Amino acid sequence: MSPSEAKNRIASLGAELKQHSYSYYVLAMPTISDFDFDKKLEELGRLEKEFPEFADPDSITQKVDGYITKEFITIKHKWPMLSLGNTYNEQELLDFDQRIKKAIGDSFEYVCELKFDGLSMSLTYEDGKLVRAVTRGDGIQGDDVTMNVRTINTIPKRLHTGSYPDHFEIRGEVFMHLKAFERLNTERIENGELPYANPRNFASGTIKMQDSAEVAKRPLDCFLYFLYTDRSLFKTHWESLEAVKSWGFHVNEHSRLCSDINGVFAFIKEWDKRRFDLSYDIDGIVIKVNSLGQQEELGFTAKSPRWAIAYKFKAEQAETELLSVSYQVGRTGAVTPVANLRPVFLAGTTVKRATLHNADEIEVRLKLHEGDWVYVEKGGEIIPKITGVNLDKRKTGAAAISYITHCPACGTLLERKEGEAAFYCLNDEGCPPQIVGKMQHFIDRKAMNIDGLGDETIETLYQKGFISHISDIYSLKDHSDDLKKMDRFGEKSITNMLDGIEKSKEMPFDKVLFGLGIRYVGATVAKKLAVHFKNIDSLASASLEELTTAEEIGERIALSIMEYFANEGHKAEIAKLMAQGLQFASEEKEVTLASNTLAGQTFIISGVFEKYSRDELKDIIEQNGGKIVSSISAKLNYLVAGENMGPAKLEKAQKLNIPIINDDQLLEMIGG
């Protein structure tokens, strides 16, 4: 693949995966199968490694999937709720096993657990009392759903036995048993309500309800599977499971301790058959390194623990008729084809649509014709992949399906650069979905986070002619009387919306910068730019050389920024937003260090320590002017080593003659 092809493929994959993630976590309406999502994520990660100059620092490969609703109080997780890497075949499990051995040697065990298809939950206990229940959210912070979780009978509200610590957190999965799902869904149908697609969505929808009395009427269950404490109480994960079980927590009885990867394979084979006998859905097996010390040594990527992986069971298949192909236009102008199918029941849900990705999928790989009977495969979610066509059922004279030539929204001729998969509508200033998409991006929680103003409202206001640019959002206060004449726009909702718009003017510079929608400038890049350039004028006037001196800003991002600010329309928008009082400069904050003793020194922390956690040692180093780095190189000043550190890391440090110190020696360096 050429650099140009890679650049465009990375951009299109990133945008597509973010949309799929939003549909899954916010709308509870998945638009792609687990398998297809994971394969696209894998492809994106591979391309970003091969072409790092095109990798977006805010890429979904560096983030935990999930979003936070605006219906509940947002709580920051004390320990991030990371997601697991997925695999679908034995070879990838063998590769995982080899990576573990390379890092910590051959002496370790695995714990195998069923992978429940539910809603991840974090429970906090203080003095044996449940004080907080928080959803995964974006992995860093989630929704406080304590009142709803307290209605789940299998979750103890107060512990009565066991030598549990004063404060701890325990993670688990909230789910609904299949018989309860069927009964409640039948009631919804009889009441004229839309049924839920599967138990996972029903559980997710229930836990997000505002009325906990209604939640209590829906029987939810919860399995707990991981304990977090400030100080290690146990040496192994298996010991911790046995302990929390004795404290009164509902721990799944089918977990197994395995001495090697062969035991893992035997467990997977057993449950691939037995899963259909369970009263609840599972979609795979979770494999974890048993030793907690070895887990800490193996550490984490930005998104996943290196000491655990999820094996997903193979997808089920069905055959159904292709009714039509429709097309959707995204914020970037990419046009995505969608297959509309004769409804077919597959793996517990009714499938009606499948994403066809691009023109090559239709015309080259599948060679689709009108009325074709297609094979669909599902890896656990609603929208599956079309894996092939039943040519024996093709109707005589059926016309081949050709990808459209013009934008379905504005009629502009579509263009595809040589080597690219997607077709684009380049009419970004006149194509309604692109215009609406830009404004929806601006109000997103990662950008201006405007309460009372959602995606549907943006679309309605655009259709009614109230807004066509992001700056128009701040002029809505001048149209309050006209807004009251619109359907479903009551005085209270209008007041809430206008208050939310006014409050958004307090959002910091980096949020505003991200909200502008500059290509390749994600939330993380926007923060880096805001810190480096301090204000919009310095950023807008920066040269290529000046831009690339900023942390993590490469030539691709720099050129995109320069192109953005060269556009007179963009300059006019910024001027209007500045006039409305938005923040286009960073606040100067004075950072007070405990000392500068470690200034200019770099450190890596590895292993397990008796007196301090690794996070506490990291804070000590940074508060005294030192810097934590991620990998060992000749430029590293010190390796702070504890027990059970990886042999490969130790060997490399010794080979490079890097000073190896313990936590006591570190404290001596800063005088105590």
Active-site annotation, residues: 115
List the one residue out of 544, 569, 515, 560 whose CA is nearest residue 530.
515
| HEC profile of 8-39 | HHHHHHHHHHHHHHHHHHCCCCCCCCHHHHHH
C-alpha 274/C-alpha 258 separation (Å) is 18
Which residue in this structure is represented by tokens 């100059």?
Answer: 53
Could you tell me the CA-to-CA distances from 409 to 93, 437, 530 in Å, in that order?
Answer: 45, 13, 36
Chain centre to alpha carbon of residue 419? 29
The answer to whether the beta carbons of residues 375 and 388 sit under 8 Å apart is yes
C-alpha 441/C-alpha 444 separation (Å) is 5
C-alpha 139/C-alpha 76 separation (Å) is 9
C-alpha 647/C-alpha 114 separation (Å) is 31
Hey, what are 543's tokens?
Answer: 């040269």
Hey, what are 195's tokens?
Answer: 């049924």
Instruction: Compute how many other C-beta atoms are within 10 angstroms of the C-beta atom of residue 214.
Output: 12
C-alpha 115/C-alpha 281 separation (Å) is 9
What's at 12, amino acid-wise? Answer: S
Hey, what are 443's tokens?
Answer: 């109000």
Chain centre to alpha carbon of residue 365? 30
Chain centre to alpha carbon of residue 339? 26
Instruction: Compute how many other C-beta atoms are within 10 angstroms of the C-beta atom of residue 71.
Output: 10
Read off the DSSP letter of residue 559. H
List the one residue out of 423, 211, 410 whose CA is nearest residue 334.
423
Tally the C-alpha atoms within 13 A of residue 631's C-alpha that lie toward its C-beta.
2
